[in-house]
Structures are given as structure tokens and as C-alpha cells.
Amino acid sequence: MADSSMFWRIVRRLITANYGRLFVILLALGAGAAITSALLNLQIDAKRRLTTEFRALGANVIVAPRDANANSGGGTLDQSLLAQLPTENAGKPVPAVAFLYVIGAVAKVGEIHHEAAVIAGTEGQGLTKVRPGRRTDYSAELENDPLACELGAKAAAQFKVHAGDSLHLRNQGREATCKVFAVVATGGAEDTQIFTKLPTAQTLAELPGRISLVQLSVTGTPDSIDSFIKSLSQRLPVADVHGIKQLAEAEGKLYNRISGLLSTTVIIVLLLTSLCVMAGMSNVAIERKNDVGLMKAIGGSVRRVVRLFLAEAILMGIVGGIIGSAFGIVGSIWLGKAVFGVAAQPRWIVYPVSVGITIIVSIASAFPLRRLASVRPANVFRGEA
């Protein structure tokens, strides 16, 4: 074992021989590791965060009756279906809201003239998530009233009502009233609709326990949303589950572009890091000619010499990687905050991965040391470099 202790002693000497150079190489490796781990962590986080941001676009999956015929007013689904929907996908909650649409006559309480409008009964968690828009005139204390309703901006202007006013709803002899708690501007068809609680709409339509459709806002990568839709349509044979193509296509496209950009950057940064270390190492190779010449002269085989330098490279890779990656992960937490406003979650898998990558880079950049194999002791000693 004297042999191995000698081996490590030489390695130690090699490393500590020149502190300046050690510093440069460790700095290069450490900085490379820091940037790699920060970008890797941010990449995972950014992809995840991006899928969350996409949900600002609102519902992307719709559960509708299978025999839906838009022209005959459409079939309906049973309300119990809402309870059967998964509440989360890939750890993220899935807001789901059931809608029942009725065309009724509407007027402000006290007015005689009624006008036809679409009344949408809603039930479920996260109406603001599946139907993003800007709420004006919002009064929170009225919201939980069973007779509360929310108006689209155009409808509110048409009926001249504000939060706190009451509306009279009528459909084929059935009547109801509701109290306005908010006015919402979405820019879409919702602007002209009246959103009541589900039982109100069911009474007006005389369809107790029925719903027209369910809108869901599923967070996830394009693939995971696809598989969510597939598994859901298998579980609900009575219903037609489909994604909103408009969103799915744009989201998929953007997602691929951005994640492609991040991955490319990580590769480029790694290339540059290895270049950096290689520059340092080619220097080392020149300096070590004498050492290698001596080693060879006293009987060291090329293989052992190379092994020495490899051990040195791996050691430096480990040290640079461990220190640099730690800095990088801490940095990415802060970067996540700068980009997405929420601190990026450190992913521990990134740490060993980026340390591993650094070690590989360090070994690969020891490539210039291969020159040492061709060193001829006699030439070195004669001083002919």
C-alpha cells in the first residue's frame, strides 16, 4: 500500500504546487458549475412555472355531453359528475366549474321591460380561474349569498345595474331574483351573460341536478394535459372531454420554444466552461514536462503518469463542482424570484447532476495532458522543451 500512499502524495503535490493556477482552474470549474446548476434548476422551475402562467389564459379542458347538439340547445350532464373530476394534476390543483346555460328574460327589479339574456348557473371552485377577466364593482360580502349573481360588463350596462342591485329573472313562467355582487369584463361572450348560482339556473330551466358542461383549467406540460384528457374521457364515458385547441396549440408552441432556448444555453455554458478549464490545463501540461520527464526516467509508465493527472482532474472537478453548484442553486432561488416573482424551489437532483457534469467537463478538459505521454525524458533533461 506504500504504492498508493505515494500516488496520493504526488497528487497532493501536483495540486498544491501552484496556488495561482489552482485558483484559476477552480474558479473556472466553480463558475461553470454555478452557472450550470443555476440554469438547470431555473430551467426545471421555469418550465413548471410557465405551465402555471399559461393558466392565466383560463379554462383549457371542457367536459360536455357526448350527444351535444348545439342547435337543439344541447344535452345535459348529471351534476354528480363534478364530484368525480380529479382535483389535481401533477400536484397542481385543477379548478373545475360546472355551467348550466338558460336563455331567460331579465330585468332590473322594478323595471317592466324584460330583455332576453343568457343566464349561466355556476358551481365549483375557481370561477375566476376558468373565466379570467377583470372584476369591477365587486362586493365580497354579497358573494356567498345563495341568490348572488355576477354580470358581464355589457349585460350590466344594458340593465343599468351595479353591485347591490337586484335582478328579476324569468323563463317560461318560472321566476327568480338575484342580487348582483360583481361586474366582470372578459372581452368574450361572458360579457353579455349573467352568472348565478347553479340552483337558480336549474330552477329557471326546470332541470334539477343537470349541468350543460364543466370547464377545467389544467396545469401541466402539453403532454401531461393530453394524458389528463385521455384518462378523464375513459373514466367518463357519458361525456365528451376535449381540450381547447386554441390554447393547446399556442401553449405547446411557446413551451417548446422557451424550453429549447434554456436547454441550448445550458449546453453552450458547459462548452465554454470546458474550454476555460482546457486553457488552464494546457498550461499545466507545458509546466509539467520536466516532472513527467523525471517520472518516466525513473521508470514510471505512461499509464501511471496519466492516472496521476486524471486523479488530479477528478479531484478538482469534485471540489469545483461541489462549491460552485451550491452557489448556483442558491443563486437560482434568487433568480427565480427576479423572473417569476416567486423563489425557485431548489431541486436536489440538480446538485449531484451538476457536480457530475463538472467532473466530466474537468476530465474532458484534461485532454491537453495527453501530450505528456509523448514526452521524451532525454529531450527534457537536455532542456529542449
Partner 1 sequence: MFLRLVADSFTRRPKRKMLTLAALALGMAVATAALSVSLDVGDRLAQEFRSLGANLMVTPEADSLPLEIGGVDYRPANAGAYLPEADLGKLKTIFWRFNIMAFAPILEVPVEAWSPARKNWSSPGVVDRSTLIGTWSDHSVPIPDGTTYQTGIEKTNPWWHVEGRWFKEGEDECLVGAAFAKKFGVKPGDVLNVRANDRTGWKGLKVVGIVSTGGPEENAVVASLAVAQSLAETPGKYRRLYVSALTKPEDAFARKDPKTMTPAEYDTWYCTPYISSIALQIGEELKGTDVRVIRRVAEGEGTILTRVRTLLWLVTFAALLAAALAVGASAAASVIERRTEIGLMKALGAGSGLVGVLLAAEQLLVAFVGGGIGYSVGILLARLLGQKIFGFTPEPKLFLLFIVLLLASLITLLGSAYPLRRASQYDPAPILRGE
**Binding segment for partner 1 among 37-45, 200-208, 222-230, 314-322 (CB under 8 A)?**
37-45
Footprint on residues 61-100 left by partner 1 (CB under 8 A): 68-71, 74
**Binding segment for partner 1 among 22-30, 89-97, 173-181, 307-315 (CB under 8 A)?**
22-30
C-alpha cell at 336: 427565480
**Binding segment for partner 1 among 38-46, 87-95, 203-211, 347-355 (CB under 8 A)?**
38-46
22 part of the interface to partner 1, by CB under 8 A: no
CA pair distance 242, 369, nearest whole angstrom = 60
**Binding segment for partner 1 among 7-15, 163-171, 259-267, 303-311 (CB under 8 A)?**
259-267
Strand stretches in 186-299, DSSP E: 193-197, 210-211, 213-216, 239-243
In DSSP terms, 243 is beta-bridged to: 61
226 part of the interface to partner 1, by CB under 8 A: no
- 304 vs 345, which CB is nearer to partner 1? 345
Q: Do β-strands 115-125 and 96-108 pair in parallel, antiparallel, or remain unpaired?
A: antiparallel
228 part of the interface to partner 1, by CB under 8 A: no
Long-range own/partner contacts, residues 356-360 (CB < 8 A, 24 or more apart): 356/321, 357/33, 357/36, 357/270, 357/321, 358/29, 358/32, 358/33, 358/36, 358/273, 358/317, 358/318, 358/320, 358/321, 358/324, 358/325, 359/314, 359/317, 359/318, 359/321, 360/317
233 part of the interface to partner 1, by CB under 8 A: no
User: Between vectors from CA 291 to CA 287 and to CA 293, what angle results, nearest 5°?
Assistant: 110
- 254 vs 304, which CB is nearer to partner 1? 254
Footprint on residues 121-160 left by partner 1 (CB under 8 A): 131-134, 153-155, 158
Q: Do β-strands 166-171 and 96-108 pair in parallel, antiparallel, or remain unpaired?
A: antiparallel
CA pair distance 341, 316, nearest whole angstrom = 36
Quick one: which of 282, 311, 345, 363 contacts partner 1 (CB under 8 A)?
A: 282
Quick one: which of 146, 164, 187, 352 contacts partner 1 (CB under 8 A)?
A: 187
Smallest separation, CB 380 to partner 1 (Å): 11
Quick one: which of 65, 243, 320, 321 contacts partner 1 (CB under 8 A)?
A: 243
C-alpha cell at 308: 496521476
Amino acid at the residue 218: V
**Binding segment for partner 1 among 3-11, 84-92, 202-210, 238-246 (CB under 8 A)?**
238-246
229 part of the interface to partner 1, by CB under 8 A: no
39 part of the interface to partner 1, by CB under 8 A: yes
In the stretch 355-384, what mask flags binding to partner 1 with x, by CB under 8 A? ----------------------------x-
Please, are residues 285 and 374 in contact by the beta-carbon 8 Å criterion? no
